């Protein structure tokens, strides 16, 4: 029996299967990325105003031990009637990407992390900040991590998932709150209160 040959074929099959899974997932997320959203408007670098101000920062995974920083700005074209949070980052290929997020168009029941980052950052600017949290989006990200579906280690699809993967934040909060509120530990109880705070925010 040619054990070496069997081992080689098994290894080749495993690599091919892994590649197919990765390609399939990448295709799914690229499809999400290309889907239209009223809230998200990609703009050209030449349209950036020098008067915009930094209002937040977060990251998404781009490689093992590598994260890409996303900076949130409040541009001068943002108004009370049409609040806008502008997002900017440079991807792994060196391409600069800028998005205007129209906050009033963000639907927490069907929103990407890009949209939720903008939404929660704007709410914080208007005085609605989660107590005892670093910031609103950080608290939301921690809650999402507890839900077991966060992509912090998905290095291949980190960018497309951050921009295009839609999540029902209300259902996510309900799931996490249901079990974490039963744990009698200060950290768990604080997270439960964060869930409740965000649930109330979404109802306004």
Residues 17 and 85 in one domain: no
Residues 20 and 57 in one domain: no
Considering only CA atoms, which of 171, 157, 70 is closest in space to residue 111?
A: 171
State the Cα–Cα distance between residues 186 and 200, nearest whole angstrom: 21
Residues 25 and 83 in one domain: no
pLDDT in the model for residue 35:
52
Which residue ranges of the chain lie beneath pLDDT 70? 1-36, 149-153
- Give residue 104's domain range: 35-203
Residues 51 and 22 in one domain: no
Residues 109 and 85 in one domain: yes
Residues 4 and 74 in one domain: no
pLDDT in the model for residue 149:
63
Residues 114 and 193 in one domain: yes
Distance of CA 162 to the CA centre of its chain: 4
pLDDT in the model for residue 150:
67
Residues 16 and 43 in one domain: no
Considering only CA atoms, which of 191, 204, 89 is closest in space to residue 147?
A: 191
Residues 57 and 112 in one domain: yes
Residues 3 and 66 in one domain: no
Cβ of 152: how many Cβ atoms within 10 Å? 13
pLDDT in the model for residue 63:
83
The string of pLDDT tens digits covering residues 128-169 is 999 999 999 999 999 999 987 666 667 788 899 999 999 999
Number of domains in the chain: 2
Residues 149 and 159 in one domain: yes
Residues 59 and 132 in one domain: yes
State the Cα–Cα distance between residues 198 and 172, nearest whole angstrom: 11
pLDDT in the model for residue 100:
98
């Amino acid at each position: 029996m040619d054990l070496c040959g069997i081992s080689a074929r098994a290894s080749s099959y495993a690599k091919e299967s892994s590649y197919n899974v990765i390609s399939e997932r990448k295709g799914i997320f690229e499809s999400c990325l290309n889907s239209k959203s009223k809230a998200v408007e990609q703009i050209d670098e030449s349209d950036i105003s020098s008067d915009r101000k930094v209002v937040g920062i977060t990251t998404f995974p781009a490689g093992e031990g590598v994260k890409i920083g996303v900076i949130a700005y409040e541009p001068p074209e943002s108004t009370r009637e049409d609040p806008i949070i502008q997002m900017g980052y440079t991807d792994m290929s060196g391409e600069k990407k800028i998005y205007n997020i129209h906050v009033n168009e963000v639907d927490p029941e069907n929103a990407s992390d890009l949209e939720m980052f903008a939404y929660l950052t704007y709410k914080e600017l208007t005085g609605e900040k989660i107590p005892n949290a670093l910031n609103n989006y950080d608290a939301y990200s921690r809650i999402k991590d507890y839900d077991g579906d966060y992509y912090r280690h998905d290095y291949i699809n980190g960018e497309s998932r951050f921009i295009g993967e839609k999540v029902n934040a209300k259902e996510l909060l309900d799931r996490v709150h249901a079990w974490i509120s039963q744990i009698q530990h200060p950290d768990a109880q604080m997270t439960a209160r964060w869930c409740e705070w965000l649930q109330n925010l979404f109802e306004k």
